[in-house]
Amino acid sequence: MADLGELSEKLAGIKQEITVELTKLDNSKAVFEYRKSIMDSKTGKIGSLMREMGKIPNELKSEYGKKVNEIRGWATAEFDALEVKFKEQEMQRRYESEKIDVTLPSKKLTRGNLHPTTQVRNQIVDIFGSMGFAIYEGNEIEKDYYNFTALNIPQDHPARDMQDTFYLSPEFLLRTQTSSGQIHVMEAQQPPIKIISPGKVFRSDDDATHSPMFSQMEGLVVDKGITLCDLQGMLDVFVQKIFGEDTKTRLRPSYFPFTEPSVEVDVSCFQCKGCGCKLCKGTGWIEVLGAGVVNNTVLEGCGIDSNVYSGLAFGIGIERIAMLKYGINNIKLLFESDLRVLDQIDD
């Protein structure tokens, strides 16, 4: 290469080619890749020019170097400018597509809560737990003996009827009351006894206030000198904690074969404070549970000396308390799992 005319031509060709190629590119990544291919020191059209230096006569070397640097500078500036242009455009596009409207309302976070029946059961367990009651969990499948006979419910009692009771066999049934647990506890243990027994019970019964399966909480205290006054004292604490400080109890004579005397326990209406309203049917009182002094026959049947010991027992309907407390007028609402209802009750 006697002069650099040939080189000048070659460089002009490269420039021309690059100029055309650049118009075909439309993003920064393509510019980056193209720049790499042009500037590659082995294969690139500009990058490899310096490797030719060895073949250039000494007197032309400096001129050659100058020209190569010139085109390298030109190409670098072209690539830079185009890359910057595309990067700005790309950034702008990203801003547009990822724009966040911070004034939009946020997604509602849903939080679960315990079922109202569970909430009430836990509250009752806590209340009696604080009075020193232990928990006895009985069996849902019972022998006829524990559910009826031992509770002084004779063979021909109407409660045993197929209409009321789900019998599994002549001997076994789904318990109709948690009172069956009383017998198991008294058979297993001598007084002092102080237990509550929460659990499911089953009766062939189905209307707005009755369900074939519902929950009860049995209470049983057996010791020396236990009277009806102890019962009322404990129940007073219970209803005040559940329905409010100023709630009172009233005992009405009733009948259960396993308690003597037996009572129905009413609470003063916590809605109208006794003035009379729809909830208390104008009477100022609401019936909440059955209770009584444990029948001596039942104590003796379990091997407890009724001359030494006496007992009290009560049976609370858990759904009934939940319905009263939360103003639920149909027991089915507690079995339907409708979140529109259940979400409203979170004590």
CB nearer to ligand PHE: pick between 179 and 249: 179
CB nearer to ligand PHE: pick between 64 and 258: 258
- Asked if residues 217 and 178 have their Cβ atoms less than 8 Å apart, the reply is yes
In the complex, the smallest distance separating the C-beta of residue 146 from ligand PHE, rounded to whole angstroms, is 12
Sorted by sequence, the CB contacts under 8 Å of residue 334 that are 6+ apart come out as 115, 116, 117, 211, 319, 322, 323, 328
Using alpha carbons, select from 111, 201, 198, 215 the residue that is nearest to residue 159.
201
In degrees, rounded to 5, the angle at the alpha carbon of residue 180 between the alpha carbons of residues 175 and 183 is 155
In the complex, the smallest distance separating the C-beta of residue 166 from ligand PHE, rounded to whole angstroms, is 15
Strand partners, 200: 215
Q: Are strands 193-202 and 172-174 parallel, antiparallel or unpaired?
A: unpaired
In the complex, the smallest distance separating the C-beta of residue 225 from ligand PHE, rounded to whole angstroms, is 19
CB nearer to ligand PHE: pick between 82 and 234: 234
CB nearer to ligand PHE: pick between 196 and 291: 291
In the complex, the smallest distance separating the C-beta of residue 227 from ligand PHE, rounded to whole angstroms, is 15
CB nearer to ligand PHE: pick between 75 and 289: 289
**d(C-alpha 157, C-alpha 256), whole Å:** 11
In the complex, the smallest distance separating the C-beta of residue 238 from ligand PHE, rounded to whole angstroms, is 14
CB nearer to ligand PHE: pick between 258 and 270: 258
Using alpha carbons, select from 263, 276, 272 the residue that is nearest to residue 235.
263
In the complex, the smallest distance separating the C-beta of residue 291 from ligand PHE, rounded to whole angstroms, is 5
- Asked if residues 170 and 160 have their Cβ atoms less than 8 Å apart, the reply is no
148-165 exposure pattern, b = at least 16 Cβ within 10 A, e = fewer: bbbbbbeeeeeebeeeeb
Q: What residues line the site for ligand PHE (CB under 6 A)?
A: 177, 179, 256, 259, 290-292, 313-315
Reported for 335-343, long-range contacts at CB under 8 A and 24+ positions apart, including other chains, are: 335/211, 342/113, 342/115, 342/116, 343/113
In the complex, the smallest distance separating the C-beta of residue 150 from ligand PHE, rounded to whole angstroms, is 13
**d(C-alpha 122, C-alpha 234), whole Å:** 17
- Asked if residues 182 and 313 have their Cβ atoms less than 8 Å apart, the reply is yes
CB nearer to ligand PHE: pick between 313 and 328: 313
In the complex, the smallest distance separating the C-beta of residue 236 from ligand PHE, rounded to whole angstroms, is 17
CB nearer to ligand PHE: pick between 180 and 247: 180
In the complex, the smallest distance separating the C-beta of residue 220 from ligand PHE, rounded to whole angstroms, is 8
- Asked if residues 291 and 236 have their Cβ atoms less than 8 Å apart, the reply is no
CB nearer to ligand PHE: pick between 124 and 313: 313
Query: DSSP code of 112?
Result: -
Residue nearest to ligand PHE (CB): 315
